[in-house]
Chains A and B, each alone.
Chain A
Amino acid sequence: MILIAEDNPLMRKMLRSLVEDLASEVVECTDGEAALSLYEKHQPAWVLMDVSMRPVDGLSATRAILARFQSARVIIVTEHDDAETRRSAFEAGASEFFGKDYLLPLRALIQHAGNSEMLGNAII
């Protein structure tokens, strides 16, 4: 199961189409708060988390999820592809970070990760 937290419908639709065939189910929401509750409810294998959302932004939601579910795998998917956002994302506990401009590796990541723990290595 993959949870998509993205407020832009176009982007959300694209993310769904990107990962849809890799998971049994894709769940969507448009803000961090919803993402947390959905995560609590479903504990999906992956969370594709946008940063700029209201009222609760993606990083806060990431921190909240990770605080309660230390094994949660949150992938930050953002248009703000810069060093500062990237650092903040990992500090918040994100597993992976993708700029929205180029998301093809994201599919590969999820596709090959399976249950292996190499995901992080693969990203690094």
Chain B
Amino acid sequence: MRFKALNSYKAKIAVACFWILLISLAVKPANAQQHFKKWTTADGLPQNNVINIAQTPDGYLWVATLDGLARFDGVRFKVFNKSNTPEMPNNRIFSMFTDADGRLWFNYANDQTLVAYENGEFKRFEKGRDFQKDENLALNARYGVEYYRHLLGKPEMTFRAGQTEYVYEKGRFVARPAQKETRFPARVFATDDFTVWIDAPEAVYHVENGNATRYGKNAPLPIAPRDTIPMDFVELGGVLWCVAGGTFVNGKLISFKDGKVKMFPAVDGIFYLESDAKGNLLAASTKGFFKIDAAALARNDPANFPVTVLSSHSTSSLFRDRDDNVWFGSFQGLHLMNSDPAVIFYSKQSAPPIDNVYPIVQDPEGTIWFGAWTDNKLFSYRDGVFKSEYGYILTALFVDSRARLWKGTGGMIGYREKDRWLPVDFEKTLPPPWNKPTVFTGELAFITEDKQGNMWFGTEAGLVRYADGFSQLFTINDGLPSNVVTSCFFTRAGEMWIGTNAGIARMENGRFRAFTEADGLAGNYTRSFYEDADGSLWIGGYDGGLTRWKNGEFKKITKRDGLFSDGVFVILEDEAGWFWMNSNQGIYRVRKQELNDFADGKTESVTSVSYGPEDGLLEVEGNGGKQPAGLKARDGRLWFPMAKGVAVINPATAKPEAAPPPVLIEETRIDGQPFDVSAEGGVRLNSDQVALEIDYTALGFVGAERMRFRYRLENLDGEWVEAGARRTAYFSHLPHGEYTFHVIAANYDGVWNTEGASVKIVIVPPFYRKWWFYALAAFGAFGLITLIYFLRLRQLQALNKARAEFAKRLIESQEGERHRIALELHDSIGQALAVIRNRTLLGLDAAEPGKMREQLSQISEASTLALQETREIARNLHPAQIENLGLTAALRSLVKSIETATGLKIEADIAEIPQKSLPYDASINIYRIAQESLSNIIKHSGASFADVHLQMENEKLVLSIEDDGRGFTDGAVPNGLGLTGMRERARMIGAELTIDSLPGEGTKVRLVL
């Protein structure tokens, strides 16, 4: 209650100060950046002037700016402004106030309108319509103060205009006569002169210029409660901290205890006060943002009052949300304060600057040593003090059994003795080119020592054992999976394991036995080993995940199984049983028990807790591959080499696990158009709508980017989709049916809200997926098929009939032709031959030479006739002229022979068609058509005159035969083979044949080729 009241008050003050600040402040750049996470217009904030911050009961943070309102879920800003919210008169929000029911109230610059937001809906209330017009309500009054003093900081929405009071009840404003206020609006309040009054249990005090004037509870006061406004205050340890001063602009911090006031001039210009969860006081001022820690507050001593400058941004709003996150708004955006980061990150910005750290060790005296490649430094750290010396590209550090510090650099491998570095001389012990230290040093990955005191060096050329001035090189020839050696580990049982970029190897009887992904290793590129108390060996990969080696069996755990990253550059175990690992994506931890449960098949996944900027890990990229790639210091703190520095975490106090985040479904879009789920009770897609998008979120503001989501469509696949940080689900072309979209989320500690949120989805089947359509379609299809079948059947039948008819006529024709030929043979040639034979016999029989001569004469005559007959038959069978002389000659001969034989008068105009210009089959068919036409004329037309033309017209050959005979009608066309045969012949040679005839008007046959 107190909080909300203050919040409304802050809003007023923010606006009041806005114009002053604009002209009076020179905003300095941020310095202590690590204390805040910041969002600006670049992140989706509609405008960088954050006027006010509030939170609704559903958990959303609301940010009012001078260019609209934004709803914030930690990642996405949903902007509400005039363009999408017609209830808003303009975009310049003047203030935002949260009432006791969780409603948001807004009013606007230069407007006499109030807007409320409740349960997803905006409502607009206008002066003169919903409440009385009153000049005192002028919103653009000086600094807005005149107006706001009537907007009392009560939990319920009430304001006063003149002698009328407006109370918001059941969706509307109810007017009533202003009631006499008998109580002050807050424990600390102010009057028009901005002097502070304190309503203490025993008395009322007026504070002015550091002095308090006491008024007894029953004494008459020079002020009336209704003329006062609440003031910001924080009570800590029995001390009331509030702001006093002639104006807000130079507001001073005062403490009030037991009727005594103390002034603290260290901070001024204060207009907001807030406390954090640890009892520190936060002061927002025109000069910046300050923190006074709880111990200083407890001393309550102006002379010993250290103030920490958190930000030099002038602060326009301050808000502590229900998870005790402290937010502030400035003219530079929205800021989230990180009061107690889990990670201490030493970077380039630190003193001394530290960058690009690789190997890190701690010596027996407790000094921590690490190499930083930027600026070529070897750092030491002890008792909070960093020192550094020159150290060229330090790739390996090691403290041996004699407490000597070893280093591998770009130029040497050596150890430190009395502040001097003594290099190992390989030239004596190895053949070239391996005897050059540069072969090892540039690519050196580790220096280590076995129980026998042999030194081992991991290089990109192989593994080197060094003892007593002599070296031995082990390579793939000795069984190593690769010569690029990255890591080495001696187990308590005395096993030696080597990691390479192509698998791992275990020393067995002087040789190495290799294991790779084929044997079950999660990834061949190995970066780290760790042996836990149970004797399980854990192997970390560069990009393949984590592997457990236990009882001769490899079990892998990867990102897919819940590991934060597939990079496992180092494995450090803390006292609480967490494995801490480092990767290019940042530092993370997983419970060893979870890893074992997963490896044993007891669970489906593991949960990782990752660290990022919210935790103080400003740059997440880890370093590794140069050993040791991490350190568990003797004090229990963990050191991780990072690309941008070195990160130190105290696992004992590393952030508490947060509560599971509330999960909400924000918006549903169908084919890009927002769909009102609440109105329909679910999503409903018609058959022609294909794309469904569902925006969901989980509310939690620390590590919001690393919240993880899983969703599934129940009734469809049943499998959870790992959405990662994605906050929108996309579906398209869902099969019709009813589904439930269910989304769950985990905060960045890996704590899942398994209940999540869900929404029903109905995909309406298209009409063609409904039973009646199936039935109709089946019926229709059956009908169609039947129809097609019968049509086709009829067509085929007709075709068959026509073919049969044609075949029959063809056969008949052939038979007729054969018959004709047979008759001709019989009648003419046969008989002639018979005559010849008989006359020969008679001649032979004749006694007289005269009679014999006569028979011979008759035989000669018969033979001549027989020859003529034979030629005639042959010519009819096949016109030899076509072959020999061409179509022209053949046709002329035909016409002549018909004229001679029948007496038909034929007018022939037969052009010379070059024999070679016409293929033979065309010629013969044209000839036959002419022959048939003339034959028809002779047989059927009764014509006395015929006309035969053959000529070229437009490069086309045209044959036309006309007669003056009796003609015929279409219906009466003798459907004998004659005409059909002619048409068939025309078709065969690709010619067009037309036969025009009318009764009494002759017949015209025209062929165009």
Which residues of A are at the interface with B, using a C-beta cutoff of 8 A? Answer: 7-8, 10-11, 13-14, 17-18, 52, 79-80, 100-104
Cross-chain pairs A/B with CB under 8 angstroms, 30 sampled: A7-B827, A8-B827, A8-B831, A10-B835, A10-B861, A10-B865, A11-B831, A11-B834, A11-B835, A13-B835, A13-B858, A14-B858, A18-B838, A18-B842, A79-B826, A79-B830, A79-B831, A80-B826, A100-B830, A100-B831, A100-B834, A101-B834, A101-B837, A101-B838, A102-B837, A102-B838, A102-B841, A103-B838, A104-B841, A104-B845
B862 touches A10 (CB 8 A): yes
Contact residues in A for B827 (Cβ distance below 8 Å): 7-8, 52
Contact residues in B for A14 (Cβ distance below 8 Å): 835, 838-839, 858, 862
Q: Smallest CB–CB gap between B645 and chain A, Å? A: 126
CA distance A7 to B824 in the complex (A): 12
Q: Which of A17, A52, A80 contacts B858 (CB 8 A)?
A: A17
B838 touches A10 (CB 8 A): no
CA distance A103 to B836 in the complex (A): 11
Max chain A C-beta neighbours (<10 A), residue from B831, B832, B845: B831
A10 touches B832 (CB 8 A): yes
* In the complex with contacts A11-B834, A14-B835, A104-B842 CB distance below 8 A: yes
Q: Smallest CB–CB gap between B837 and chain A, Å? A: 6
Contact residues in A for B837 (Cβ distance below 8 Å): 101-102
B823 at interface (Cβ–Cβ under 8 A)? yes
User: Beyond the given A10-B835, A101-B838, could you list 16 further A-B residue pairs with CB under 8 A, ordered by the A residue number?
Assistant: A8-B827, A8-B828, A10-B831, A10-B861, A10-B862, A10-B865, A11-B834, A13-B835, A17-B858, A52-B826, A52-B827, A79-B830, A101-B837, A102-B841, A103-B838, A104-B841
Q: Smallest CB–CB gap between A31 and chain B, Å? A: 13
CA distance A11 to B827 in the complex (A): 9
* In the complex with contacts A8-B827, A79-B830, A100-B862 CB distance below 8 A: no
Max chain B C-beta neighbours (<10 A), residue from A10, A18, A79, A104: A10
- Which residues of chain B from 812 to 860 have any CB-CB distance to chain A below 8 Å in the complex? 823, 826-828, 830-832, 834-835, 837-839, 841-842, 845, 858
CA distance A103 to B832 in the complex (A): 14
- Which residues of chain B from 963 to 1001 have any CB-CB distance to chain A below 8 Å in the complex? none
Contact residues in B for A7 (Cβ distance below 8 Å): 827
Q: Produce 1/0 per residue, B843-887, CB < 8 A to A.
A: 001000000000000100110010000000000000000000000
Contact residues in B for A17 (Cβ distance below 8 Å): 842, 858
Contact residues in B for A10 (Cβ distance below 8 Å): 831-832, 835, 861-862, 865
CA distance A8 to B827 in the complex (A): 7
Residue of B whose beta carbon sits closest to that of A99: B834
A104 touches B831 (CB 8 A): no
CA distance A54 to B861 in the complex (A): 25
CA distance A10 to B838 in the complex (A): 12
CA distance A17 to B838 in the complex (A): 11
CA distance A18 to B834 in the complex (A): 13
Q: Smallest CB–CB gap between B858 and chain A, Å? A: 7
Contact residues in B for A103 (Cβ distance below 8 Å): 838
Q: Smallest CB–CB gap between A103 and chain B, Å? A: 5
Q: Produce 1/0 per residue, B376-418, CB < 8 A to A.
A: 0000000000000000000000000000000000000000000
Residue of B whose beta carbon sits closest to that of A9: B865
Contact residues in A for B858 (Cβ distance below 8 Å): 13-14, 17
B838 touches A100 (CB 8 A): yes
Contact residues in B for A18 (Cβ distance below 8 Å): 838, 842
Contact residues in B for A102 (Cβ distance below 8 Å): 837-838, 841
CA distance A13 to B839 in the complex (A): 11
Q: Produce 1/0 per residue, B421-432, CB < 8 A to A.
A: 000000000000
* In the complex with contacts A7-B827, A14-B858, A52-B827, A104-B834 CB distance below 8 A: no
B838 touches A104 (CB 8 A): yes
Q: Smallest CB–CB gap between A100 and chain B, Å? A: 4
CA distance A102 to B839 in the complex (A): 10
Q: Smallest CB–CB gap between A82 and chain B, Å? A: 12
CA distance A100 to B835 in the complex (A): 8
A52 touches B838 (CB 8 A): no
Contact residues in B for A8 (Cβ distance below 8 Å): 827-828, 831
CA distance A77 to B842 in the complex (A): 17
Contact residues in A for B865 (Cβ distance below 8 Å): 10
Contact residues in B for A79 (Cβ distance below 8 Å): 826, 830-831, 834
Q: Smallest CB–CB gap between B67 and chain A, Å? A: 117
Max chain B C-beta neighbours (<10 A), residue from A7, A52, A103: A103
- Which residues of chain B from 176 to 211 have any CB-CB distance to chain A below 8 Å in the complex? none
Residue of B whose beta carbon sits closest to that of A80: B826
CA distance A10 to B863 in the complex (A): 10
CA distance A8 to B825 in the complex (A): 12
CA distance A8 to B837 in the complex (A): 15
CA distance A17 to B827 in the complex (A): 19
CA distance A7 to B826 in the complex (A): 12
Residue of A whose beta carbon sits closest to that of B862: A10
Query: Top 3 nearest A-B pairs by Cβ distance?
Result: A100-B834, A8-B831, A14-B835
CA distance A14 to B841 in the complex (A): 12
CA distance A66 to B987 in the complex (A): 55
Residue of B whose beta carbon sits closest to that of A8: B831
Contact residues in B for A101 (Cβ distance below 8 Å): 834, 837-838
Contact residues in B for A104 (Cβ distance below 8 Å): 838, 841-842, 845
CA distance A17 to B227 in the complex (A): 166
Residue of B whose beta carbon sits closest to that of A17: B858
Q: Which of A11, A52, A100 contacts B823 (CB 8 A)?
A: A52
CA distance A86 to B813 in the complex (A): 29
Q: Smallest CB–CB gap between B253 and chain A, Å? A: 147
Q: Smallest CB–CB gap between B829 and chain A, Å? A: 10
CA distance A18 to B846 in the complex (A): 12
Contact residues in A for B841 (Cβ distance below 8 Å): 102, 104
Contact residues in A for B839 (Cβ distance below 8 Å): 14
CA distance A101 to B834 in the complex (A): 5
Contact residues in B for A52 (Cβ distance below 8 Å): 823, 826-827
Contact residues in A for B861 (Cβ distance below 8 Å): 10
Contact residues in A for B832 (Cβ distance below 8 Å): 10
Q: Smallest CB–CB gap between A76 and chain B, Å? A: 14
Q: Smallest CB–CB gap between B978 and chain A, Å? A: 22
CA distance A29 to B861 in the complex (A): 21
CA distance A110 to B826 in the complex (A): 26
CA distance A104 to B843 in the complex (A): 11
Q: Smallest CB–CB gap between A70 and chain B, Å? A: 31
Residue of A whose beta carbon sits closest to that of B854: A17
CA distance A14 to B827 in the complex (A): 14
CA distance A117 to B835 in the complex (A): 30
CA distance A55 to B838 in the complex (A): 27
Q: Produce 1/0 per residue, B279-297, CB < 8 A to A.
A: 0000000000000000000
Contact residues in A for B834 (Cβ distance below 8 Å): 11, 79, 100-101
Q: Smallest CB–CB gap between B856 and chain A, Å? A: 13
Contact residues in A for B831 (Cβ distance below 8 Å): 8, 10-11, 79, 100
CA distance A7 to B823 in the complex (A): 12
Contact residues in B for A100 (Cβ distance below 8 Å): 830-831, 834, 838
CA distance A61 to B911 in the complex (A): 51
CA distance A18 to B837 in the complex (A): 13
CA distance A8 to B845 in the complex (A): 24
CA distance A13 to B857 in the complex (A): 13
Q: Smallest CB–CB gap between B821 and chain A, Å? A: 14
Q: Smallest CB–CB gap between A106 and chain B, Å? A: 9
Residue of A whose beta carbon sits closest to that of B837: A101
Q: Smallest CB–CB gap between B782 and chain A, Å? A: 60
Q: Smallest CB–CB gap between A112 and chain B, Å? A: 16
Q: Smallest CB–CB gap between B282 and chain A, Å? A: 136
Q: Smallest CB–CB gap between B545 and chain A, Å? A: 105
Residue of B whose beta carbon sits closest to that of A81: B834
CA distance A46 to B563 in the complex (A): 130
Contact residues in A for B845 (Cβ distance below 8 Å): 104
Q: Smallest CB–CB gap between A65 and chain B, Å? A: 23
CA distance A104 to B838 in the complex (A): 7
CA distance A13 to B854 in the complex (A): 13
Residue of B whose beta carbon sits closest to that of A11: B831
